[in-house]
């Protein structure tokens, strides 16, 4: 089986670096984008299985980018996980309601991060298989 | 021909109405009506005067009719009398239905004639046999008595209308509001009597008070909701801003602890740097929040000392050197040489200036200019300005700039991060030193933020005003 492909969309360079190193150490293929416009290009070029999407970003925010992604048929299969420091009560529900397939709050737990990310992928593929 | 008796009655009615007119809406109309008079049917033109008076939330119409016969001159006594009694009846109906009490005061003796409804306004169910100006004043609430006495004395002296709204104390000690109005009645040329009306307006006053109370409660509620919304938004922002550096601190330390990065490698050092940098950023945030709460609770202490402004600004320029260089921003300092002998808390001044400068750098595109200038303002103050060639601020947004917890861009897509505290803290710091802050800006061209402070800050010992 090919290694899963994850695109990290986040404007904070340290967040990107951390998630990239952790995922790559587990054998995940990783690409990064610093804003929504870059992300659109990377989705076409990199063809990710899953997108780790920061919500607060300059220009177009993560939720808007996700709505656009989900609106186009060829991107329907991509799992979008909200990857955000908005971790107050109700934030997760808000992201899920907006259409995110998963939610990971910052700060991350390095030990379980990769497994959590991949679990969203599995869950999604399970649903599709069923 | 009209008889003197009839004239007098009509004039009396009109006099009362005319007194009301002065305080109320007034209407006048000419009516044409038919009147059966003796055996004849005639056409007459009557002038109708009506006064509308708003009392006890009811529209009361007082009307008096004055017959000005324009078509006919010869009118029988019988007809006039009938007409006058009709007028009286109408007036009586109006007075009764509005619960108006009547009174008459002899200005020379202070003796009063009064109706039962007048007495009821003072809490008496039966007609009072003894009643005079003094009795009246005794019933007036002690706190209102002086004003009422003076008003009545002035009206008596100047022979002018009298009007008062005041509290009266009933025999059962309950307090009620009355509205009283009077006008001078000219008796055969000699002003001798004050003729007036009185109504109990307690219900109106209470309704008005309730309405005002309700309004203020509604406003209070709205303000509380708004303040709660802003605080929630602030906490959400704070949580986001604290978690972001914590993600780097916890995540990179975990990475290093787990041995995922070889010790001594460039990456190892780089990640240690990320941890330190993020921790310092976190400290800065926490300090801002603590300062804010200290200023809010008035516990901020200032330590004024002689300050060399040129040197202080240069030092700040050095601190911000890296950010200035990264965006190739030209930094200039223009301090008026005449501006000397400043005595001010240098740490707080730096804090204010640092907030302005870091904002200016944040919002100025690469290759732009940031200038700090200072000059004397008035005899005792000085003005410090930070000018940038940044993105500028829309006029609608200017009033929100220095408000606690407010960020101009509260959406997820906001370009510039922050806690919404920087400028609010700056304003509080300036105001706590007796100064002020402000901004002028042109969208797309840049902004000028200023602070005006005392040249010699008189630090107030805590607790004094």
Q: What is the ipTM of this complex?
A: 0.89
d(CA A95, CA A106): 14
Give the range of the structural domain holding residue A86, as residue numbers without chain letter: 5-129
Q: CA-to-CA distance for B136 and B461, rounded, in angstroms? A: 55
Contacts of the segment B202-208: beta carbons below 8 A, 24+ positions apart: B202/B176, B202/B177, B203/B56, B203/B57, B204/B55, B204/B56, B204/B57, B204/B177, B205/B177, B207/B57
**Cα B152 from Cα B272, distance rounded (Å):** 87
Nearest to A79 by CA among A113, A46, A44, A53: A53
Task: Look at A106 and B236 and tell me if their CB atoms are within 8 Å.
Answer: no
Alpha carbon of A24: minimum distance to chain B alpha carbons (Å): 11
| Count of domains forming chain A | 1
Q: Which of A15, A25, A56 sits opposite B247 (nearest CB)?
A: A15
CB pairs under 8 A between A and B: 82
CATH code for the domain in which residue A62 is found: 3.40.50.2300
What pTM did the predictor assign?
Answer: 0.59
Query: Are the Cβ atoms of A21 and B258 closer than 8 angstroms?
Result: no
Are the beta carbons of A55 and B252 separated by less than 8 Å? no
Spell out which residues of chain B touch residue A91, defining contact as CB-CB under 8 Å: 236
DSSP per-residue letters across B10-38: HHHHHHHHHHHHTTSEEEEEEEEEEEEET
Domains and CATH numbers, chain B: 1-98 (no CATH), 100-200 (3.30.450.20), 223-298 (1.10.287.130), 300-465 (3.30.565.10)
> Are the Cβ atoms of A85 and B239 closer than 8 angstroms?
yes
Q: B256: nearest CA in chain A? A: A110
3-state SS string for A56-108: CCCCCCHHHHHHHHHHCHHHCCCEEEEEECCCCCCHHHHHHHCCCCEEEECCC
Q: Which of A13, A106, A109 to mutate to test the interface with B (most CBs of B within 10 A)?
A: A106
Sort strands B112-114 and A50-53 into parallel, antiparallel or unpaired. unpaired
CB contact under 8 A, A18 and B247: yes
Per CB distance under 8 Å, which residues of A are interface residues toward B? 12, 14-15, 17-18, 21-22, 25, 55-64, 84-88, 91, 105-111
**Distance to chain B for A128, nearest Cα, Å:** 31
Q: Which of residues 215-244 of B touch A (CB under 8 A)?
A: 235-236, 239-241, 243-244
Each of the 465 residues of chain B gets a pLDDT tens digit; together they read 333 333 333 444 444 445 444 444 444 433 333 344 433 333 343 444 444 444 433 334 344 444 444 333 334 444 555 677 888 888 888 888 888 999 998 888 888 889 999 999 999 999 888 898 899 999 999 999 999 999 999 988 888 899 999 999 999 999 999 999 998 887 666 667 889 999 999 999 999 999 999 999 999 999 999 888 888 888 888 888 889 889 999 999 999 999 888 999 999 999 999 999 889 888 878 887 888 888 878 788 889 999 999 999 999 888 888 888 888 999 999 999 888 889 999 999 998 998 899 889 988 999 999 999 999 998 899 999 999 999 888 888 887 788 765 555 545 544 445 556 778 888 988 998 889 999 999 988 999 999 999 999 886 654 443
Helix-helix angle A62-71:A36-46, to 10 degrees: 40
**Torsions phi, psi for B313 (to 5 deg):** -70, -40
């Amino acid at each position: 089986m090919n290694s899963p492909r994850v695109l990290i969309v986040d404007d904070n360079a340290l967040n990107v670096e951390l998630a990239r190193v952790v995922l790559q150490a587990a054998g995940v293929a990783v690409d990064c984008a610093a804003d929504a416009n870059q992300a659109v290009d990377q989705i076409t070029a990199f063809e990710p299985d899953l997108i780790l999407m920061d919500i607060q970003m300059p220009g177009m925010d993560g939720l808007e980018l996700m709505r656009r992604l989900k609106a186009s048929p060829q991107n329907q299969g991509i799992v979008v996980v909200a990857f955000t420091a908005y971790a107050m009560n109700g934030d997760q529900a808000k992201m899920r309601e907006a259409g995110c397939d998963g939610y990971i709050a910052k700060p991350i737990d390095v030990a379980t991060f990769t497994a959590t990310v991949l679990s969203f992928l599995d869950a999604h593929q399970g649903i599709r298989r069923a | 021909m009209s008889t003197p008796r009839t004239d007098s009655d009509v004039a009396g009615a009109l006099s009362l109405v005319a007194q009301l007119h002065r305080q109320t809406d007034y209407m006048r109309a000419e009516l044409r009506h038919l009147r059966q008079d003796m055996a004849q049917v005639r056409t007459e033109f009557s002038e109708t005067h009506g006064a509308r008076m708003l009392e006890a939330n009811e529209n009361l119409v007082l009307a008096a009719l004055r017959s000005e016969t324009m078509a006919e001159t010869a009118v029988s006594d019988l007809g006039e009398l009938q007409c006058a009694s009709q007028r009286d009846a109408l007036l009586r109906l109006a007075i009764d239905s509005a619960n108006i009490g009547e009174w008459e005061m002899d200005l020379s003796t202070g003796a009063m004639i009064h109706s039962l409804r007048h007495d009821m306004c003072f809490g008496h169910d039966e007609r009072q046999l003894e009643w005079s100006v003094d009795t009246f004043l005794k019933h007036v609430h002690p706190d209102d008595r002086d004003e009422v006495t003076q008003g009545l004395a002035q009206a008596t002296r100047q022979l002018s209308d009298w009007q008062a709204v005041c509290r009266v104390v009933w025999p059962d000690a309950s307090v009620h509001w009355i509205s009283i109005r009077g006008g001078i009645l000219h008796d055969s040329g000699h002003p001798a009597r004050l003729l007036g009306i009185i109504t109990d307006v307690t219900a109106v006053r209470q309704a008005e008070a309730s309405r005002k109370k309700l309004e203020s409660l509604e406003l209070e509620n709205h303000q509380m909701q708004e303040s709660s919304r802003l605080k929630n938004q602030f906490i959400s922002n704070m949580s986001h801003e604290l978690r972001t550096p914590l993600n780097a601190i916890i995540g990179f330390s975990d990475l290093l602890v787990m041995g995922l990065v070889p010790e001594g490698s460039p990456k190892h050092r780089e990640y240690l740097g990320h941890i330190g940098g993020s921790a310092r950023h976190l400290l800065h945030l926490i300090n801002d929040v603590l300062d804010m709460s200290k200023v809010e609770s008035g516990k901020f202490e200032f330590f004024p000392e002689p300050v060399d402004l040129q040197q202080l600004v240069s030092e700040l320029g050095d601190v911000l050197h890296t950010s200035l260089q990264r965006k190739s921003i030209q930094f200039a300092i223009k301090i008026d040489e005449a501006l000397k002998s400043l005595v001010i808390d240098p740490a707080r001044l730096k804090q204010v200036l640092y907030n302005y400068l870091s904002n200016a750098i944040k919002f100025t595109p690469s290759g732009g200019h940031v200038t700090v200038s200072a000059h004397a303002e008035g005899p005792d103050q000085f003005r410090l300005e930070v000018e940038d060639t940044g993105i500028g601020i829309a006029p609608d947004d200017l009033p929100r700039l220095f408000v606690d917890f407010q960020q101009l861009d509260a959406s997820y897509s906001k370009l510039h991060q922050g806690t919404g505290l920087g400028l609010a803290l700056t304003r509080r710091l300036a105001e706590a030193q007796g100064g002020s802050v402000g901004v002028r800006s042109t969208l797309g061209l840049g902004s000028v933020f200023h602070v005006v402070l005392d040249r010699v800050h008189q630090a107030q010992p805590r607790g004094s005003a």
